[in-house]
Structure 1
Amino acid sequence: MSIAAFIRDSVLRPRLSKARCLVVYDPAKLYRAIVISLADEETTVVDASEHGIESREKALQSFISLARIGAGVPAGLVVYVPSSPPKSDHERTLDPYAIYTACGAVFPDGDGDEYLSLCLKAKPDHVSEIRRLFEANPVPSFELVDNIGGGVGYPTLRTILKVDSARNILLALLAPSERQREGLKGNDAWIGEAKSLFKAALGLKLATKGKSWSAVADELWRFLLFSEFVLDLPGTLPPSLQAVPHTDTGAYALVFDLCEALRNDNRTRQTYIDRAEQIERELNLPAACSDMTDLGKLDTFPFEERTFLHMAVSALKSDQLDDARFVVDQHKNSVWLGKGESQAQWGLVAAGLRLVTACEDAERNLVGYANSLDALIEQYTLSLREIDRLQREFEQALGEYVSLEPVVDDVADHVRKRYARVAQKIQTIFIKHLEKEGWPPHGLLPNINLFDKLVAPLLTDRSKRVAYFLVDALRYELGLELNRQLTDAGTTSIQAVSAQLPTVTPVGMASLLPGAAKKLSVMREGKDIIVSFDGQRLTSVASRMKVFELLYGDRFAHMTLSEFNNGNNPTVADAVNLLVIRSTEVDSHLESNPDTTLGLVHQVLKGIRVAVHRLKKAGFTDVVIATDHGFFLNGHANAGDVCTKPGAGDWIVVHDRALLGTGSGDEQSFVVPAEKLGIRGDFECFAAPRSLAPYRRGVRFFHGGASLQEAIVPAITVALQDQSVHETSVAIVRLSYKSGVKRITTRLPVVDLSVECTDMFGQGLDVEILLEAHDRHGNVIGEARKGDPVDPATGTLKLQPGQEKQVTIRMDMEFEGKFTLKAFNPVTLTAYASIDLETDYAV
């Protein structure tokens, strides 16, 4: 194979195939002809060396056309730029083609793409000659490189393996296909050629006397992987390993290239993992290297991945965030993340790192938005709510963390304390302004006016059909996630609104009724409270729904979210133009056990999303989604993390964080006149903790009191589009487990997921996929583990055509037996692909 053909077929084409967009920077003007040769019916090549403005326009038009598929539409774009690639952010802002590198791939990308490295990879059996050529001429022509070595070498190996370069011969000998392995079995004439190739390319003098492929492969694998380990080490080998054969630095480019190819190819990845684990055991590497603290950058062997994980944990706990981020980023694509346990641990560290970083940013800027209640709330809705989202995702990752090795368990304490510190600082500012300014804030729509402002005006038009979702405990950051999911259903908008105090369900749900601003009050009844609405006691869901029924008659109907989503055709009479859909799942899940049920929150969002699309099919025109209150996740709670009730006064405990009655405040609780906080009724004062702690010990999920997390909530409106606007999308999804293995031996198996082709381009390039494991009765007994690449809020992941991802499936601890893993469209719940598997756990 010529050097030009090698660069085109082994470097540029695979990169283009994976990313669909490739920018080639070439200041020496070596590769122009190769790039031009990539043009075909499916690939557009833009040559930026000609007609600068026209080239930019052509590149932009071709890039936009990648979002469509069909006759005459390119499947790939290559931009040739005859200059050096930008190295700094400033240079990238000046480069008109940098945008394509952000969305696609780039060449050169690292030292492995240097011209010398490419030549060494293309002709690994002629290392000395190539290095001598480059010493005499730093940029030799392709013709000079091609002339090295003369005729066709290794004819027997080329014939048996059906490959055309020394590099590909080495890869085939390391991991042959079934056909190649059969060819090697039937003929041992290749042994002599293999010995010559190993010596010339790697410096390996084959020691085995065996003439079988397995004997040769064992020695080649050990030499190759140990060579990469040695070449990556900054220091010297321990004495016990110094006699183990390995190559010298001259073969580094080839060694790294072969190992990367084996790790990155789905067909050979598992073989690499098995071989590396076996060689690590044979050489007893963990014990031999136990005193070494710097193992370089690569994790050739699994014990190195453990070492790097400990480094990341240590840096995070020491608040050396840049160091932790460097280690996490360097190993986010590690082959060892193919093990579900490792992926979960790295995911937990990455989630903790994101949260701690956000806390530091928020704490630095606290002074800038502490001047007023309105300023604080505005900043909360713009950015501070992000630390709540990241905290929820961290707690979710922690709740799903399953491992017998507690390597990252102590991360939780550090991260939780860091979040608690900044959350309490924000809370202190919030309470100070609340005591001074009262509630609800002037700049927000209060929940008591929400129905009259957002729903009632729609119902004046008898042609409109409105679905009004009443979702229990949908805090603001979750509302943003839900709004993001609903953008494909129509025109959406979200606004922050103020919850009614106290932030408990009976009061909050009543505040969402028609006319609540004038009719709602909270009254004393013995040692408890009741909600009164226009003089009538509201003590149940039925009594609240009666308010709608009296006002709208047969134009009104109500049901739960699960009732609406169960069955193919939910029964809603044509006369109904106000349908109330109720959901209590978030609150009930988190009230029961937030440590283990936080991961179920995304199921509620999924259910709402499915319901909205079904409403569109049923002829509804508008959706309004409201909630009674938010919540606080008290993950950092310990035995002493509790607030003492005010000692003096006459108080009724409304919930874990709210009192109504009379009395005075103290250092732990604030007391404000009820009227000043918008609470109508026969109570004089409202009291609540100043801190983010409840009046009861051991509570990890709470609401009822006053905090940004409890009292700032979302209101979402969706103007549904006609069903014909978006046709049903079709995606060809491939799903596999270890190249066809049918039994899983871990409760965190990692599956390979890819999208090969799709027509889902009218709404963007991404194909959204929901992964679930079902038993033979259709029960969900496993889900994709939330965290990169799976969205923690939706439980789904998005892939572009040509992309491949490894996804960890978290199996139910109690389940064993046969099951089906399915890839779904998360909106229609139609299956893209499925595989049948069975558990085979070691007892």
Structure 2
Amino acid sequence: MDSLYDYIAKKLAEEVTKRGVVIWYDAGTEFAPFIAELRGGPRTGEAVPVTLYGKVVRLAEYAGSMFEVRFAVEPYVREDSPEPAVIYLPGCDRDTGGSVLMELERAGMHWEPRLAQLAKELLLKRHTIGVVDSMVAADRRLSYEDFRKIAADEGAGSASVLKSIFARSHGDDTVLADWLADDSRDSEIAGKSATGELIALVQSWLGLRLPGDGHPSKLRSITLRYVLAGEFRADLSCASPPALDGVPVPPTPDADRAVRELAVLLRSGHAQVYPALADLVERELGLSSAAIPAEALGTIDTFRFEERVLLKHCGDLVADGRFEAALTLVSQRADCYWLHVDVARKAQWEAIRRMAELGQVAIRVGAEIKAANGDVGAWFGRYTAAGGWHRLDQAQRRLEAWITELDDVQEQPLAVVRRAYEDTCHRMADRFTKALAGSGWAVPRALHQTRVFSEVVASQPKPVAYLLVDAMRFEMGLELAERLPDKSEVSVRPAVGALPSITPVGMAALQPGAAASFSLADKGGRLGAQIDGTFLADRAARGRFAKARIPDLVDLALNDVLSLPVSRLTKKVEGAQVVIVRSQEIDHAGENGFAFHARQVMDTVIDNLARAIRRLANAGIRHAVVTADHGHLFFATDRDESMRIDAPGGDTVDLHRRCWVGRGGANPPGTVRISAATLGYTSDLDLVFPAGAGVFKAGGDLAFHHGGPSLQELVIPVVTVRAPAPVEASSATAPVAVEGAPNEVTNRIFTVTLALGGQHQLLPEVAEEVVVRPVLIADGQQVGVVGMVVDAKFDVAAQRVRLEPGQRCTLAFRLVDDAVGSLRIVVQDPETDAELYRSPSDIPVRLGVS
């Protein structure tokens, strides 16, 4: 069998089949023996029929006259159904300008193969590139007959031993990757005397000369350093560090390209072992201590230390106030290999991203505050508008909630953005308070808190749920709206809270009758509100008052709505016209000095409110109004001494860190005094507030404050919801598969893998994407949220993950309630609340156990 002849004939037949006419230029007459064998007789000057790989083709050969060749073939190619033809031109270079065969070339194609290249292609089917290169080295002048003998193994030896050892590897690059990643075949390579072939392969493929007497394990170490250092060096935008001086540089562009491609193949094809291989080379070369500027590191991240250097650099950018540059860098590194290896590292990048976002918003809002005039309505509008100043508070809340779960946070950039936030809040509070005072302590045309019941709740179709959330800021109400099903009819409007912005006043202002008669009062030295002569100082008094004025009222705690089975909840609210749902979680955590816990709680309160609205809809209460008694200021730490103000003294009825209520006393510097009568109250009391974001020396070490007239404290959300009718979960609803769930939760952040299951998994090409809401549930309440998602789109505000068919993604859950003993992972359909997945059993929570 003449394998070389057959291979060339096959290649030529493929070209003829594609284009019909092939003009074959053979400048070195290398293929003359092949043509003679193909012709099978003497040349005649005619276009003779030949059999080419089982197909009849006309063959015309050049013998000094291009016109002769053209005339010979024209009768066969100018017909309506032209015959396939090969025009062989030995000793001719192609003339791209005025060849008499140009028309034929345009109708067909020109072909300029090299004998050595075709021979190599054939030989590589049986041998590695190193062996083939030694057979057909450039300095060997081999003829067609020589190549034919080599291909027939006449003097060429047997087929590749290395390929037989790596029988499952496809291609020489895969052989090298499999060898570098796994030492289990070393003894077989040495025992079968394939080391020389391996050395030849490395040299031919990568351009690296290995010692001829090395064991495969030693050769592996040298080659691995060469490959990873080569990729790393090529990705740098600065001079190589001295640590790489002992590692050869790929000698040619082809070798450099092969080195890069092999490094990529190691990461993609051997993901389980690549981190250990890279860490080994990093230690051997001492790269983690090399003085390499972070800006000079490329985009590939060959080694683990690169990601850590770049994260530190990103933190430095934030600390320097270069927030846009930091956000750009975070975005560029989102798909860094090492962040897929260690999702906990991605949490660090997410922390930096949130820091940079807060810093960026603080700069923008600060500039707008500086340019703002004294129109209190304009201040109110700028804070509550879409994309308005409330985004500053939202960015701060998201950052503070996120970093509570991290053991290691870059302190300097965090301190910078916290200071930026606090300074911006202070300037905002100071100037807004002045604008508010200048307008007579009223915001024209704005909905006042005392009119929420009469103008909003009373006008809703019955039954209606009235959710009263203690200390929910305006921005949290907006986020709540985003977490409700898309089919819900939702509106959010701002309202101005009653002063002082404390619970006894704000909750009373939300009662029926407050629009007609509302005042501040004290009874026996106790501060409260008064409606129609009724003094309301606490929740019990407000509850009795509401029940007396609202027919068929049902009063529930948020926990009741979340924990009761739907059947019992339905019975509980049956016949009700108004269902009051009380939530005190935010204020309770903040007021009791649990700043760390309060940050954790805030996100889950939003989710639990959304969950409660959906459960109430399933129980027959499809209309809801959600509002708050007041908002809050919440800083990372307690106010320092420069922000602490002496209390006014005098006859003190009530003292909070952000307000004083009483009679007489002094006006400490940095405060503003207002009489209760000026606020429209029938009272002789005075109120004193810090003008900015300062606090009275009222005891305690709270970072959570309310009571004052800042936008964050005074502006409350009024969320009106018409939930869609309950929908039975369809049997066709896409199931999801959750893998990698922990046997027990020992860290607040843990990961699972999520993918579509069922038909979506079996037939991904015809399936559609599915949007899901993954949560952590304990005793009916949400106790954790998704913090990050890798390899899928994630809407952080709505807490929705968009799953693509055939794609797996990694979820990083964030547990926010340390007190739970166990939990379950639940994946819901956000439109119907149907459960697409629930952990088959409770997962114990043992934080701090590893």
TM-score, with structure 2 as normaliser: 0.71
The one-letter code sitting in structure 2 at the alignment partner of 1:151 is: L
Residues 513, 531 of structure 2: 8 Å contact kept: no
Contact 2:749 2:815 in 1 (8 A): yes
Equivalences for 1:318-357 in 2 at 5 Å?
A: 318-337=320-339, 338-357=341-360
The 1:772–1:200 alpha-carbon spacing in structure 2 relative to 1, beyond 3 Å, is: farther
Aligned residue in 1 for 2:620: 619
Candidates 396, 400, 416, aligned match of 1:395? 400
Are the equivalent residues in 2 in contact too, given 1:602–1:793 (CA < 8 A)?
A: no
Give the 3 Å change call, closer, same or farther, for CA 173–600 of structure 1 in structure 2. farther
**1:471 to partner: Cα distance:** 1.1
In 1, the alpha carbon distance for the partners of 2:232 and 2:597 equals 40
Alignment match, 2:286: 284
Q: CA deviation digits over 1:641-697, x for unaligned, max 9?
A: 43324647544334221122345645311112323334x242343211011122136
Match of 1:541 in 2: 539
Which letter does structure 1 place at the counterpart of 2:707? G
Contact 1:480/1:494, CA 8 A, preserved across alignment = yes
User: Which amino acid in structure 2 is aligned with residue 402 of structure 1?
Assistant: D
Q: 1:815: Cα distance to partner?
A: 10
Query: In structure 2, how many angstroms separate the alpha carbons of the residues matched to 1:395 and 1:523?
Result: 37
Does the Cα contact within 8 Å between 1:731 and 1:755 map onto a contact in 2? yes
Q: Which residue, 298, 303, 306 being the options, matches 2:305? A: 303
Q: CA offset at residue 624 of structure 1?
A: 0.9
User: Aligned match of 1:376 in 355, 379, 389?
Assistant: 379
Per the alignment, do residues 573 and 362 of structure 1 end up closer, same or farther by CA in structure 2, a change over 3 Å counting? closer
Letter in 2 for 1:688: F
Quote the offset at 1:205 in angstroms.
3.7
On the 8 A contact 1:731/1:767 being kept in 2, the answer is: no
Deviation at 1:498, TM superposition (A): 1.0
Tell me the C-alpha RMSD between the 2 structures: 4.3
The 8 Å contact of residues 471 and 582 in structure 1, kept in 2 or not, is answered as yes
Q: Does 1:478 align with 2:476?
A: yes
2: CA distance between counterparts of 1:503 and 1:749?
Answer: 38
CA distance in 1, matches of 2:224, 2:237: 22
Determine which of 832, 837, 841 is the counterpart of 1:831.
837
TM-score when scaled to structure 1?
0.71
Q: Is the 8 Å Cα contact of residues 227 and 259 (structure 2) preserved in structure 1? A: yes
**1:594, distance to aligned residue in structure 2 (A):** 1.7
- For the 8 Å contact 1:485–1:609, the answer to whether it is kept is yes
Mapped pair 1:628 → 2:641: no
Q: Secondary structure at the match of 1:686?
A: strand
Report matched runs for 1:208-227 at 5 Å.
219-227=222-230
- Counterpart for residue 203 of structure 2: 199
Larger radius of gyration: 2
Which deviations, in whole Å up to 9, do the C-alpha atoms of 1:88-118 show, x marking residues without a partner?
Answer: xxxxxxxxxxxxxxxxxxxxxxxxxxxxxxx
Where relative contact order (Cα < 8 A, 6+ residues apart) is larger, the structure is: 1
* Structure 1 Cα separation of the partners of residues 639 and 656 of structure 2: 20
- Counterparts of 1:551 and 1:745 in 2: how far apart (Å)? 50
> Percent same amino acid at aligned positions?
25
Structure 2 residues not aligned, in runs of 5+: 1-17, 19-108, 127-159
Which residue of the partner structure matches residue 572 of structure 2? 572
CA-to-aligned-CA distance 1:299-334 (integer Å, 9 cap, x gap) = 321222222122212222122334433432332222
Q: Which residue of the partner structure matches residue 715 of structure 2?
A: 712
Look up the match of 1:109. none
Structure 2 Cα separation of the partners of residues 551 and 728 of structure 1: 45
Displacement of 1:754 in angstroms is 3.9
Aligned to 1:635, the other structure's residue is in SS state coil
In the alignment, does 2:126 pair up with 1:151? no
Are the equivalent residues in 1 in contact too, given 2:784–2:815 (CA < 8 A)? Answer: yes
Match of 1:769 among 761, 769, 773: 773
| Contact 2:428–2:710 (Cα < 8 Å) also in 1 | no
- Work out the number of aligned pairs and report it: 685
* C-alpha spacing 1:488/1:204, structure 2 compared with 1 (3 Å): same
Q: Deviations over 1:794-815 (max 9, x none)?
A: 6664444455444445579989
Listed one character per residue, the Cα deviations across residues 371-412 of structure 1 (whole Å, up to 9, x for unaligned) are 411111111112111111111112222322213xx6x12222
- Measured after TM superposition, the shift of residue 497 of structure 1 is 0.9
C-alpha distance 256-685 of structure 1, shift in aligned 2 (>3 A): farther
Q: Quick check: 1:559 aligned with 2:535?
A: no
Q: What SS class does the counterpart of residue 517 from structure 1 fall into? A: coil
Residue identity in the other structure for 1:643: R
Tell me the distance in 2 between the aligned counterparts of 1:412 and 1:151: 62
Q: Do the aligned partners of 2:604 and 2:785 also contact (CA within 8 Å) in 1?
A: no
Q: Distance in 2 between matches of 1:262 and 1:751?
A: 25
Cα distance, 1:735–1:301 mapped onto 2, change above 3 Å:
farther
Deviates more, 1:811-820 or 1:496-505: 811-820
Match of 1:531 among 523, 529, 532: 529
2:500 equivalent in structure 1? 502
Q: Which moved more, 1:432-441 or 1:321-330?
A: 321-330
After superposition, the C-alpha distances for 1:251-290 in whole angstroms (9 at most, x for unaligned) are 4444444444554x5x743422222222222333223x14
Report if the CA contact (8 A) 2:520-2:676 is conserved. no
How far apart are the structure 2 equivalents of 1:248 and 1:667? 75
Distance 1:591 1:748, change over 3 A: same
In 2, distance between residues paired with 1:192 and 1:815? 64
2:604 maps to a residue whose letter is: Q
Distance 1:773 1:261 in 2: 41
Q: 1: distance between equivalents of 2:312 and 2:751? A: 22
In 2, distance between residues paired with 1:616 and 1:470?
17
Q: How does 1:153-168 map to 2 (within 5 A)?
A: 153=124, 155=126, 160-162=166-168, 164-168=170-174
* SS of structure 1 residue aligned to 2:547: helix
CA contact 1:735–1:823 (8 Å) conserved in 2: no
Indicate conservation of the 8 Å contact 1:654/1:704, yes or no. no
Cα distance in structure 2, aligned partners of 1:187 and 1:756: 47
SS at match of 2:493: strand
Task: Specify whether residues 482 and 208 from structure 1 end up closer, same or farther in structure 2 by C-alpha distance, changes over 3 A only.
Answer: farther
